[in-house]
């Protein structure tokens, strides 16, 4: 009982993140009762995303005193990166680590739990998910797929992407072949471009060989790791399409429900801890990578206001249209947009106003 109450306290305060740096080095004791697999959409141990999956697996293993032992499989080691959802849903693995916008083919509503163009940032997303009913809606959406979702990371505001030509006006988006998933891809399509969905490991070659003209990925930290600065010279900001992208841990519902309550709680606490840790990791390391890219004479440019204004208008149109897809998408859309409208005045007088005068 004391252990359970302690874990519940940690779940609220997130002080558990102090364990993340060494979680995989802690001696895991006790008898293994559950051997679980985690499949991911990221290359094994990829900075930020892949490491986040490893951190989550390490925390679950060690906090459970080795009662749950989690083994991580990177993209293509056990399943292709864009097949994680189905694999976990059907019980091929107990855990998945990915991004919900990849599953828009399952439901348009999935995308709201990853990132919405011109939507909420990381802090606002966490507020909606944890305290605005977001997770409950996410669970409702995934229930028919035999999955339980949990926030398990956030990269913060992303960059706008890498381009092989300058974007001076809206007309420059017409005919542009760009790797951009989710709602951002829908907006680009409406602007006359051609969105392409590619796994991270395929992006560099596609950009270098001209299969695509542009790509978004994450930000300087991850983009440098993939060497995207060697395939394109124009690096645009801001990341209008992904202002606060949540990374998900999906859990096979049957397997989760088979656990005793204390192990369920450990999984929930571990997910919450890595959610904070990943955002901290990106905040600390994006700037270091940005400075490196500047030293490589990369052209770091802001999208013209005309382009951003047009993309915002198109985004609003698309969100309203997909909200009519079905009842669950309508419910998620209303919850998301209502929360964003309600939190915006506070963000404006707090974070935004402070950043403008700092």
Q: What digits encode the pLDDT tens for the residues 156-207?
A: 999 999 999 999 999 999 999 999 999 999 999 999 999 998 888 899 999 9
Q: Which two tokens stand for residue 126?
A: 């966490």
Digit-coded pLDDT (tens) for 126-165: 999 999 999 999 999 999 999 999 999 999 999 999 999 9
pLDDT at 30: 66
| Separation of alpha carbons 149 and 136, rounded Å | 9
Question: Does residue 238 sit in helix, strand or coil?
Answer: coil
Domain with CATH 3.40.190.170 in the chain: 2-155+245-283
The CATH code of the domain at 161-242+287-322 is 3.40.190.10
Domain with CATH 3.40.190.10 in the chain: 161-242+287-322
Arch. (CATH architecture) of 2-155+245-283 = 3-Layer(aba) Sandwich (3.40)
Contact yes or no for 155/200 (Cβ under 8 A) = no
Residues contacting residue 313 through CB under 8 Å, at least 6 positions apart: none
Task: Give the dihedral of Cα atoms 243, 247, 250, 256; nearest 10 deg.
Answer: -110
Does residue 16 have a pLDDT over 80? no
Query: Per-residue confidence at 355, pLDDT binned at 50, 70, 90?
Result: very high
pLDDT at 199: 86
Q: Which residues pair with 252 in a beta bridge?
A: 147
Residues in the chain: 358
Query: Per-residue confidence at 32, pLDDT binned at 50, 70, 90?
Result: confident
Contact yes or no for 50/104 (Cβ under 8 A) = no
Handedness of CA 198, 79, 226, 247 (dihedral sign): positive
| Separation of alpha carbons 103 and 84, rounded Å | 10
Q: What is the mean pLDDT of the chain?
A: 93
* Angle, vertex CA 55, rays to CA 57 and CA 12, nearest 5: 95
Which of 15-29, 67-81, 150-164, 312-326 has the lowest average pLDDT? 15-29
Digit-coded pLDDT (tens) for 303-327: 999 999 999 999 999 999 999 999 9
**Residue located via tokens 């890219």:** 293
pLDDT at 201: 87
Report the percentage of the chain scoring pLDDT > 90: 89
Residue 133 DSSP class:
S
Does residue 247 have a pLDDT over 80? yes
Report the percentage of the chain scoring pLDDT > 70: 92
pLDDT at 133: 98
């Amino acid at each position: 009982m004391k252990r359970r109450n302690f874990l519940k306290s940690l779940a609220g305060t997130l002080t558990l993140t102090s364990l993340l740096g060494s979680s995989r080095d802690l001696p895991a004791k006790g008898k293994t009762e559950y051997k679980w697999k985690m499949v991911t959409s990221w290359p094994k141990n990829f900075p930020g995303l892949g490491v986040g999956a490893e951190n989550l697996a390490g925390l679950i293993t060690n906090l459970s005193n080795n009662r749950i032992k989690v083994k991580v499989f990177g993209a293509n080691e056990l399943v292709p990166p864009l097949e994680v959802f189905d694999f976990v849903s059907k019980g091929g693995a107990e855990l998945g680590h990915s991004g919900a916008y990849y599953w828009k083919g399952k439901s348009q509503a999935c995308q709201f739990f990853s990132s919405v163009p011109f939507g909420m940032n990381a802090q606002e997303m966490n507020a909606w998910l944890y305290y605005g009913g977001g997770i409950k809606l996410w669970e409702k959406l995934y229930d028919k797929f035999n999955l339980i979702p949990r926030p398990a990371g956030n990269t913060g505001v992303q960059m706008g992407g890498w381009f092989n030509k300058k974007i001076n006006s809206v007309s420059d988006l017409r005919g542009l072949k760009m790797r951009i998933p989710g709602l951002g891809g829908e907006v680009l399509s409406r602007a006359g471009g051609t969105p392409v969905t590619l796994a991270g490991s395929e992006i560099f070659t596609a950009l270098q060989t001209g299969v695509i003209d542009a790509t978004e990925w994450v930000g300087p930290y991850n983009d440098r790791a993939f060497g995207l600065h060697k395939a394109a010279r124009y690096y645009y900001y801001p990341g209008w399409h992904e202002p606060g992208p949540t990374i998900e841990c999906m859990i096979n519902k049957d397997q989760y429900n088979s656990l005793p309550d204390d192990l369920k709680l450990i999984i929930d606490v571990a997910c919450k801890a890595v959610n904070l840790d990943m955002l901290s990791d990106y905040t600390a390391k994006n700037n270091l990578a940005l400075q490196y890219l500047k030293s490589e004479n990369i052209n770091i440019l802001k999208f013209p206001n005309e382009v951003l204004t047009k993309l915002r208008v198109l985004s609003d149109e698309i969100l309203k249209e997909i909200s009519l897809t079905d009842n669950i998408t309508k419910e998620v859309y209303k919850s998301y947009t209502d929360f964003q409208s309600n939190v915006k005045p506070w963000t404006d007088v707090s974070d935004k106003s402070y950043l403008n005068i700092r």
